Chain A
Amino acid sequence: MSPRLTLATARRVANQLRRDPRTVALMVLLPTMLIILFRYVLNSQQAFDAVIPSLLCIFPFNIMFVVTSVATLRERTTGTLERLMTLPIGKIDLLAGYALAFGLFGVIEVGVATTVCITWLGLSVQGSAALLVLIAVLDALLGMALGLLVSAFARTEFQAVQFMPLFAFPQVLLCGLFEPRDHMIGVLSGLSDIMPLSYAVDAIKLVTSSTQVSAELVRDMGIVFGCILIALLGGAATLPRRTP
């Protein structure tokens, strides 16, 4: 692990993103636009209040997932990854560089969404707003790390995009947005318990509903953070230097 190589990679990835303003605009604004849309679809502040914390997790999570999985797949298919594998850079340096660059955009993305939710859409946060943003950023990073991990299993951009319904949608269905997690039938409740997004949604619900930083909140955030690390390490492990 080398901070110098991680930073060089992050700078390179950020430079590439800068050249693609449409992707940046989609990444930064799309979650906010979808949340606004959802607010007026429900047309009830009470119904919206019940789902808004979950939405703050779900939309950034999904968008980061798909953007990172396609970006890293592109690196693989254009031959630059093979070139990097012959150079003195660790796989973890490469992935950490991606994480840093996309994480930066994730902070902006979540910052915009949270600001709009609080100032316009009537989100009331009992706990600390900073903590809310931190949880939402962790959650965007979780989407990013899982996107990096699964892109190792995709051969084409078609497959990478299809991995979103495969890996991300079940987490959305089971995270407690549609039905409280403990009301689900046994199998689904169990599945929900092993899905990282569930803990991100639980954490954000806790911070919006209580001024207390409870042990449960800390535990949920720890689980999300742990999943990010595991996904990044898993991503590095599945990135072979030699290919058939």
Chain B
Amino acid sequence: MPGAPAGATAVAVSALRVVRGGREVLHGLNFAIPTGTVAGFIGPSGCGKSTLMRAIVGVQVVKGGTLTVLGVPAGSAALRRRVGYSTQFPAIYDDLTVTENLRYFAAVLGAPPSDVDRVITEVSLEPHSEALASQLSGGQFTRASLAVALLGTPELLVLDEPTVGLDPVTREELWDLFHSLRVDRRVTLLITSHVMDEAARCETLLLMRDGRILMRGTPDDLRENAGTTNLDEAFLRVIRDAERSRS
């Protein structure tokens, strides 16, 4: 996989507005994510994280603004092999085994059959590869769904709450995997979470609330600005400051 040139932008969003059910849920977002970054979108549930991810992968109807992904408009047919997406609610066929699921999605992607075993190992599902998805535990189901996004050679991974409900050991392994993808293949990762201890593992954080980005920076920037070492505390202060300045 040829790496993108240094300094390139993986995702550029400008004045993005999304309306769902008659209500504006994203109010003119602007940001850019450089190639080869692990970017965390952190915020309470309902803040618009999933809608933003859906817009970036091109399955969300957008009201206004522009989204450029890997140099082309979001949702372009050319991106369908280059972007891996894992939905917030795990999306696999629960009446198929883990292997059958992955074989189907690998076939759709045109990925080599050997990819199936590779991604099963990456998400540590080897003991359950022949189990029906409906028989998996919640955490195993989440990992099986995440494995689909890892098939092929995506340049951008959009992972909506990929580690929710997972045990600490698996979470640690997945974060190691995410960082090795970034280092070895210069993959860009967009990861959403509402848990602050995930935020500490991202290189750049975008704190979201009510369809707006309140703050952008590294975990250290955030701690420094808020004058606390606790990220939860820091996020709460950012929110309070934002509300004070609005009122």
Contact call A80/B100, Cβ cutoff below 8 A? no
Contact call B59/A86, Cβ cutoff below 8 A? yes
| B148 in complex: contacting residue of A83, A89, A241, A244, CB < 8 Å | A83
Nearest A residue (CB) for B20: A244
B1 at the A interface (CB under 8 A) = no
CB contact under 8 A between A5 and B91, given known A15-B100, A86-B83, A241-B59: no
Contact call B85/A86, Cβ cutoff below 8 A? yes
| A241 in complex: contacting residue of B19, B58, B90, B95, CB < 8 Å | B58
- In chain B, positions 69-119 with a C-beta closer than 8 Å to chain A are 75, 77, 80-81, 83, 85, 87, 89-96, 100, 104-105, 107-110
How many Å lie between the Cα of A87 and that of B79 in the bound state? 8
Contact call A79/B91, Cβ cutoff below 8 A? yes
Contact call A83/B85, Cβ cutoff below 8 A? yes
Contact call B108/A84, Cβ cutoff below 8 A? yes
B8 at the A interface (CB under 8 A) = no
Which residues of B are found within 8 Å of A243, using beta-carbon distances? 59-61
Contact call A82/B59, Cβ cutoff below 8 A? yes
How many Å lie between the Cα of A241 and that of B75 in the bound state? 9
A12 at the B interface (CB under 8 A) = yes
Residue tally, chain B, CB below 8 Å to A: 34
- In chain B, positions 10-58 with a C-beta closer than 8 Å to chain A are 19-21, 54, 57-58
Shortest A80–chain B CB gap in Å is 5
Which residues of A are found within 8 Å of B110, using beta-carbon distances? 88
From A11, A79, A86, A244, name the one whose CB has the most chain B CB atoms within 10 angstroms: A86
Nearest A residue (CB) for B81: A88
Which residues of B are found within 8 Å of A5, using beta-carbon distances? 107-108
Q: A-facing mask of B130-153, CB < 8 A → 1, else 0?
A: 001000000000000000100000
Shortest B203–chain A CB gap in Å is 25
A16 at the B interface (CB under 8 A) = yes
CB contact under 8 A between A16 and B96, given known A82-B59, A82-B91, A88-B110: yes
A179 at the B interface (CB under 8 A) = no
A242 at the B interface (CB under 8 A) = yes
Which residues of B are found within 8 Å of A242, using beta-carbon distances? 58-62, 75
CB contact under 8 A between A12 and B57, given known A5-B107, A88-B110: no
Contact call B59/A8, Cβ cutoff below 8 A? no
Contact call B107/A8, Cβ cutoff below 8 A? yes
How many Å lie between the Cα of A78 and that of B58 in the bound state? 18
Which residues of B are found within 8 Å of A82, using beta-carbon distances? 54, 59, 87, 91
Contact call B61/A20, Cβ cutoff below 8 A? no
How many Å lie between the Cα of A243 and that of B83 in the bound state? 19
Contact call B87/A83, Cβ cutoff below 8 A? yes
Which residues of B are found within 8 Å of A4, using beta-carbon distances? 107
Q: A-facing mask of B159-202, CB < 8 A → 1, else 0?
A: 00000000000000000000000000000000000000000000
A85 at the B interface (CB under 8 A) = yes
Contact call A80/B92, Cβ cutoff below 8 A? yes
Which residues of B are found within 8 Å of A22, using beta-carbon distances? none
How many Å lie between the Cα of A244 and that of B61 in the bound state? 5
Contact call B59/A85, Cβ cutoff below 8 A? yes
| B104 in complex: contacting residue of A8, A20, A78, CB < 8 Å | A8
CB contact under 8 A between A89 and B75, given known A16-B96, A244-B61: no
Shortest B152–chain A CB gap in Å is 9
Contact call B107/A15, Cβ cutoff below 8 A? no
Chain A contact residues, CB within 8 Å of chain B? 4-5, 8-9, 11-12, 15-16, 19-20, 78-80, 82-89, 241-244
Chain B contact residues, CB within 8 Å of chain A? 19-21, 54, 57-62, 75, 77, 80-81, 83, 85, 87, 89-96, 100, 104-105, 107-110, 132, 148
Query: What are 15 A-B interface contacts by the 8 Å CB criterion?
Result: A4-B107, A9-B104, A12-B93, A12-B96, A20-B95, A79-B91, A80-B91, A86-B59, A88-B80, A88-B109, A241-B59, A241-B75, A242-B62, A244-B19, A244-B60
Known: A82-B54, A85-B59, A242-B58. 11 other contacts (CB 8 A): A12-B93, A15-B100, A79-B87, A83-B87, A83-B105, A87-B109, A88-B77, A88-B81, A88-B110, A242-B60, A243-B61
